[in-house]
């Protein structure tokens, strides 16, 4: 199944139970979301800072010291996805890492929190950048989908995301899943919180590839 065959978690096909599974986020992990959103906001006369690891609290009108109202920020994000969902640059090394892990025997599934209306554009972006793996569009916490996917294999499962809340949700819902934090956007790395007692953080895809291959036992075939 390719990324253009977008499915929901309810009708996701059964995975090969004898292959390890890698579940990967898109924005901030496979795609460089932050710089593209900053460009979009600039066209609206707004500035995106990297002061907090909270997207809507980083949007400012120039010269003001109070961030933009969160509700307005959410509307702008929807507008951004409508017009710019295919303009992201891929994270360096991401496509190569996924291709290698897939060749080593891992099933790769993309789990992305994005508006339902951009599922087609998200799938096209993944395919264009050689990451045409099965895609699931999700809303809210990711623990449920991670658990549902993990239940479809008896081999090791790893989950990669940039946001601590999704990693915590997955760790709680599916404690046997190996969780990794990846912050692809360099501007955000200094402000991104982590929790080394709960999951590993690796912000370089070449290094993350090796850690995932070891965790999944992909080299064992």
Q: How far apart are CA 150 and CA 87, in angstroms?
A: 31
Q: Is residue 36 scored above 50 in pLDDT?
A: yes
Return the percentage of the chain with pLDDT > 70, whole number: 92
Average pLDDT, the chain: 91
> What residue spans in the chain does CATH classification 3.40.50.1000 cover?
9-32+89-220
| pLDDT for the residue numbered 172 | 95
Q: Is residue 8 scored above 80 in pLDDT?
A: no
Q: The tokens 């953080």 sit on which residue?
A: 201
Q: Is residue 221 scored above 80 in pLDDT?
A: no
Distance separating the N- and C-terminal Cα atoms of the chain? 21
Average pLDDT over residues 21-40: 96
| pLDDT for the residue numbered 13 | 59
| pLDDT for the residue numbered 3 | 47
Q: Is residue 75 scored above 60 in pLDDT?
A: yes
**Residue 9, C-beta contacts closer than 8 angstroms, at least 6 positions apart:** 136, 138, 144, 145, 148, 149
pLDDT single digits (tens) 156-196: 999 999 999 999 999 999 999 999 999 999 999 999 998 88
Band of residue 11 on the pLDDT scale cut at 50, 70, 90: low
- The domain 9-32+89-220 having CATH identifier 3.40.50.1000: the answer here is yes
| pLDDT for the residue numbered 4 | 42
Strands (E), 88-199: 107-113, 135-138, 157-161, 178-181
| Phi-psi domain of 182 (left: phi exceeds 0; alpha: psi -120 through 50; beta: other) | beta
Q: Which SS3 state, helix, strand or coil, does residue 208 take?
A: helix
Q: The pTM is what?
A: 0.92
Q: Is residue 12 scored above 90 in pLDDT?
A: no
pLDDT single digits (tens) 194-206: 888 889 999 999 9
């Amino acid at each position: 199944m390719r990324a253009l065959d977008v499915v929901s978690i309810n009708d996701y096909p059964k995975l090969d139970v004898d292959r390890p599974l890698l579940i990967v986020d898109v924005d901030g992990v496979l795609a460089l979301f932050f710089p593209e959103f900053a460009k979009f906001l600039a066209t609206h006369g707004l500035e995106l800072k990297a002061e907090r690891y909270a997207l809507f609290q980083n949007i400012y009108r120039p010269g003001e010291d109070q961030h933009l109202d969160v509700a307005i920020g959410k509307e702008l994000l929807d507008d951004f996805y409508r017009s710019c969902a295919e303009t992201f640059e891929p994270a360096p090394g991401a496509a190569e890492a996924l291709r290698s892990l897939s060749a080593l025997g891992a099933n790769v599934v993309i789990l992305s929190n994005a508006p339902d209306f951009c599922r087609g554009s998200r799938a096209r972006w993944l395919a264009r950048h050689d990451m045409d793996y099965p895609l699931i569009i999700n809303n809210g916490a990711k623990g449920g989908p991670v658990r549902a996917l993990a239940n479809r294999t008896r081999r090791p499962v790893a989950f990669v995301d940039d946001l601590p809340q999704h990693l915590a949700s997955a760790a709680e819902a599916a404690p046997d899943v190996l969780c990794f934090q990846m912050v692809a956007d360099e501007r955000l790395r200094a402000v991104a919180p982590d929790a080394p007692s709960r999951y590993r953080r690796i912000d370089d895809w070449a290094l993350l590839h090796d850690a995932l291959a070891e965790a999944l036992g992909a080299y064992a075939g």
